[in-house]
Structure 1
Amino acid sequence: MRPPQPRVVVLAGGVGGSKFTLGVRAALRRLGAPEATVVVNTGDDLWLSGVRLQPDVDSITYALAGVNDTVRGWGRAGDTERVNEELQAWGAGWPWFTLGDLDLGTHLARTGWLREGLTPTEVLGRMARRWPLGIRLLPMTDSEVDTHVLLEDGRRLHFQEWWTRHRAQLAPRAFENPGIADAEPAPGVTDAIAAADVVLLAPSNPVVSIGPILAVPGIAEALRATPARVVGVSPIIGGRVVRGMADVCLTAIGVETSAAAVARHYGARSADGVLDAWLLAEEDAASAADVEAAGIRTVVRPLWMTDENASAAMAEAALEA
């Protein structure tokens, strides 16, 4: 008789979360296990030109559907920008934030459904019917809790303006999600965590991708209470971020850009944190003792997600942990 297959929940956001989610799906298919539930960050959502954008939701959806632009790392493959050019001619939107035509179709459909009264959870469920994703996607919350960046000079910007327009070059003092204290986990999120055998924290930005998910009241508590093992995957390899500007975000909250420091930031469940185990890159093997000293078991594996097979191998290592 085949042993029972693991029920898996993943917390994810961003390009790293998209690649890792693909790896998890491939790994579970090899095991003949049920599809995973992925709880997606919605902290970088925004309203622009009258439509609701959900960048992390769309990045993961497009990646699972096989229609994502793998060169740019966001948006749809083969997209055009005629509507975006017309918006710019009208002086609408943000000239530095490109909306592809196919991508804009997604945003228009989402906005129409939201205005009809559907919740973000229901909208994502409807979106998932278009393609055989092989993953159950849930937003972290149905509330709007966009991320704002408080700068050292006192200005406040939407995260997307700070990240995309200014490339994280303006010194941040703090990151905030207005309204998150009153938010609730989206339907099904805490139930999935409670019923899981393994919960995986993707190698996403710890501050602006995983951080908002954990900040939704009830989600971190669910992680501490679940009988599942909670395993994180380091987004830092060899003391450097793999992609994006996560190092700037970490510095702003007083966390060193190192695999061990991020593990300590999440904390051990035995010390009111959320982790049982932590996957370290081979390049950071020397810091394993520091992580173990914090009460978090370490597993050293290759963590470069160069293709889907490499991502699947990494996901398998996380499941084994």
Structure 2
Amino acid sequence: MPSPPRVVVLAGGVGGSKFTLGVRGALAARGVADTAAQLTVVVNTGDDLWLSGVRLQPDVDSIVYALAGVNDTVRGWGRTGDTERAGHELQEWGAGWPWFTLGDLDLGTHLARTGWLREGFSPTEVIERMSHRWPLGARLLPMTDAEVDTTVTVRDAACGQQRDLHFQEWWTRHRATLEPVRFTNPGVEAAVPAPGVLDAIAAADVVLLAPSNPVVSIGPILAVPGIRDALRATRAPVVGVSGIIGGQVVRGMADVCLRAIGVETSAAAVAGLYGARAGAGLLDAWLIAEEDAHLAPEVDGLGIRPLVTPLWMTDAATSAALGEAALAAAGV
């Protein structure tokens, strides 16, 4: 009987959370008893920030909560059943950001993380500790242990000048309405991949790029020196999943991010952004939605093998079906 595949997923955000759940579900459906031994998730930490003295890791927490089954599926982020008394009290003191929701249960996570960081544990070690609370069925690794938060340079029409904002302020407060000029991760040039990331990619049987925002979720991961080279060098097929369906973003404001870097909001254009591994890019195969089947020849022309499959992840079953389609696309 063949050994179960070793899978690495690069992910961030809600799309990454749902897809990771789906890949875990697909492995479980294949009879893999210990999915944590086979599934490694490299998580975007470009969304991270310090707020009111605590370290927040939104994408890490979204994936942890989703795998643990405690995420708020209605809002799409945070813990189910959470309250916001502490956040309101912070606002009364004039602390924190009044437009940034900080749930009480979520705050407990942030306090635990910050305490461990203050004690000298690395972000990798902190995530490992977090993984002990619930049976996640996956090993989570940050993209790097360095702090490389995302900065958005915007063109402010009110003053006619450019200014820098933390990604969370641009995304959450302004809802991406301020025109972005560029996205940067200060310090990323000096960062190194978190321990275990490069080894996991090298040993993988398949590497999957989740249908996360290609600019601000997958982009920061690929910007960490060494990760892009590792993806190009791995013997495993690299399969991506489009987060664009029918020319529309599934969630969030990825279209605004893509427009800022001169990329059309289409499944084929995002495939072109990642590029073909046969050339100077990353992808061997690219999953596109049935609504975008007409784009398959364009993707194929890029040197990337297109596969048309349902991409909507509306429940556990459809997420697992997509996870299985991604694994099958790699021939594992």
Match 2:168 to one of 145, 160, 163 = 160
Q: Which amino acid aligns with 1:138?
A: L
CA positional deviation for 1:205: 0.2
CA positional deviation for 1:30: 1.2
The 2-side partners of 1:88 and 1:110 are apart by 22
What residue number does 1:149 align with?
152
Match 1:103 to one of 93, 101, 106 = 106
The 2-side partners of 1:126 and 1:5 are apart by 26
CA positional deviation for 1:31: 1.4
What residue number does 2:238 align with?
230
The 1-side partners of 2:187 and 2:301 are apart by 36
What residue number does 1:7 align with?
6
What residue number does 1:189 align with?
197
The 2-side partners of 1:31 and 1:277 are apart by 22
What residue number does 1:252 align with?
260
What residue number does 2:281 align with?
273
Counterparts of residues 1-321 of structure 1 (less than 5 Å): 2-33=1-32, 34=35, 35-152=38-155, 153-321=161-329
Q: Mind listing any 5+ residue stretches in structure 2 that lack a counterpart?
A: 156-160
CA positional deviation for 1:4: 2.4
Provide the secondary structure at the position in 2 that maps to 1:43. coil
The 1-side partners of 2:202 and 2:31 are apart by 22
What is the aligned length? 320
Provide the secondary structure at the position in 2 that maps to 1:105. helix
CA positional deviation for 1:5: 1.7
The 2-side partners of 1:131 and 1:278 are apart by 32
The 2-side partners of 1:30 and 1:3 are apart by 15
CA positional deviation for 1:32: 2.7
CA positional deviation for 1:196: 0.3
The 2-side partners of 1:307 and 1:99 are apart by 26
CA positional deviation for 1:159: 0.2
CA positional deviation for 1:308: 1.0
Provide the secondary structure at the position in 1 that maps to 2:278. helix
Q: Which amino acid aligns with 1:24?
A: V
The 2-side partners of 1:5 and 1:132 are apart by 19
Query: Identity of paired residues, percent?
Result: 77
Q: Please, what TM-score do these two structures have when normalized by structure 2?
A: 0.96
1:20-75: per-residue Cα shift (whole Å, max 9, x none)?
Answer: 01000000111134430000000000000000000000000000001111111111
CA positional deviation for 1:249: 0.1
Q: Mind listing any 5+ residue stretches in structure 1 that lack a counterpart?
A: none
Provide the secondary structure at the position in 1 that maps to 2:86. helix
The 2-side partners of 1:320 and 1:73 are apart by 28
Q: Which amino acid aligns with 2:8?
A: V
The 1-side partners of 2:41 and 2:89 are apart by 36
Q: Which amino acid aligns with 1:102?
A: L
